[in-house]
Amino acid sequence: MPEYGSVFSDEIRTHLSIREVELSSEAYRHYKRTVALFDEYLCRINHTEKRIAESVIEGWIKEISAGISVNTSSLHVHYIRQLLLYLTGCGYPCFIPRTVKTKDTYVPYLYTDKDIEEIFKAADSLTVPQAPKNKFIEKEMPLILRLLFCCGLRVGETLNIKVGEVDFKRNLIILRVTKKYKQRVVPYGEELSEIIYLYCIGMGILNDSGAYLFPAQDKYCHVSENSVGNYYRVIREKAGISNTYSTRNGRGACLHCFRHSFAVRSFDKNGRSGIKVNESVPFLSTYLGHDSLYETEKYLKYSGDYFEDTLTKFEAFSEGIFPEVDFDE
């Protein structure tokens, strides 16, 4: 854990040790970064009191919000609220700021059939310099991307899969390390079944239930999300997919957009198979591990006329269920 130099350094370390257990690895990374920035700010203004006044918080929010989006600023404030509430519970008087009201304007990139074809082709032929902590990455990336696209998994969920959580007989994956601890079972098709089986044989982990499906230095620690993201950018460029789509309302063709693409394609496929919308959406919501249909609604957003009919059907279903309101991050 990095060193903290403010008057609340001990409390920050204790608080972070608690949050590390509660949050996913990626969420904790962002949370820890915000707390570190706040700690640095307290040191810079020579704050020595075991209390935090409104003026201190207002000064930090003003500084942290410069040059970033309202959504990002809101997330920083949300994180620091958690720290301040913890400090208050420890007996230190702290001003608790209100969260910044934002609107969810994020629009994901949807991968086309051609995109997926080129991405898989580039991943299957990936050659990169050997790195000790990612020595299996050339073998891992093709399967990681197929699981993201074919099963709609989150990146963190995928990397935390262990061999013992793959049911080779029934073509199922048991997801145990998930967002908000919502364990679930995810099925996969016959074609992917053969790929997973041959991959495990090639990696020498088929009979080791405790091994990670995507190991890093050794089979008992998994490759990091950051590493996978870096190698994906290499693959994306090789596949000829431009990231100029990235705007203030979108992140471009990122890894998480595979999950959005899966959701839209699944909804579209169900509709074409004659499954009613009011039956399809709750099932898809459960499959994705969402707490509510509102979360699923956010996954069925996209730009342009791709799957336009699908969006129209979903909007008709969701009208009145998901009103246009501001929400607190």
User: How many domains, in total, are found in the chain?
Assistant: 3
Both 193 and 85 in one domain: the answer is: no
Coil/strand/helix, residue 166: strand
Both 93 and 118 in one domain: the answer is: no
Both 171 and 202 in one domain: the answer is: yes
Task: Round to whole Å and give the CA distance between 24 and 137.
Answer: 22
User: pLDDT of 78-120, one tens digit each?
Assistant: 999 999 999 999 999 999 998 766 565 667 888 999 999 999 9
What mean pLDDT is predicted for residues 303-326?
44
Lowest mean pLDDT of 115-119, 135-139, 234-238, 268-272, name the range: 268-272
What mean pLDDT is predicted for residues 14-37?
89
Cβ atoms 82, 230 nearer than 8 A? no
Higher pLDDT, 317 or 56: 56
Least Cα distance to 20 among 8, 29, 12 occurs for 29
Specify the pLDDT at position 233. Answer: 95
Specify the pLDDT at position 77. Answer: 92
Among 102, 130, 161, residue at a domain's last position = 102
Structure confidence at residue 2 as a pLDDT band (50, 70, 90): low
Specify the pLDDT at position 25. Answer: 76
Say whether pLDDT at 299 is over 70: no
Specify the pLDDT at position 149. Answer: 94
Compute φ and ψ for 85, nearest 5 degrees.
-65, -40
Q: Which residues constitute the domain of residue 26?
A: 9-102
Specify the pLDDT at position 99. Answer: 76
Specify the pLDDT at position 123. Answer: 98
Both 97 and 125 in one domain: the answer is: no
User: pLDDT of 250-286, one tens digit each?
Assistant: 668 999 999 888 888 887 787 777 877 667 777 777 7
Both 233 and 268 in one domain: the answer is: no
Say whether pLDDT at 55 is over 60: yes
Instruction: Note the pTM of the prediction, 2 decimals.
Output: 0.64
Position 26 in a domain:
yes
State the average pLDDT for the chain.
Answer: 84
Both 57 and 173 in one domain: the answer is: no
Position 3 in a domain:
no
CATH code at position 216: 1.10.443.10
Structure confidence at residue 303 as a pLDDT band (50, 70, 90): very low
Compute φ and ψ for 242, nearest 5 degrees.
-75, 145
Position 246 in a domain:
no
Higher pLDDT, 21 or 216: 216
Find all residues with CB under 8 Å of 254, minimum gap 6, and list them.
Answer: 109, 229
Assigned token pair, 149: 């696209």
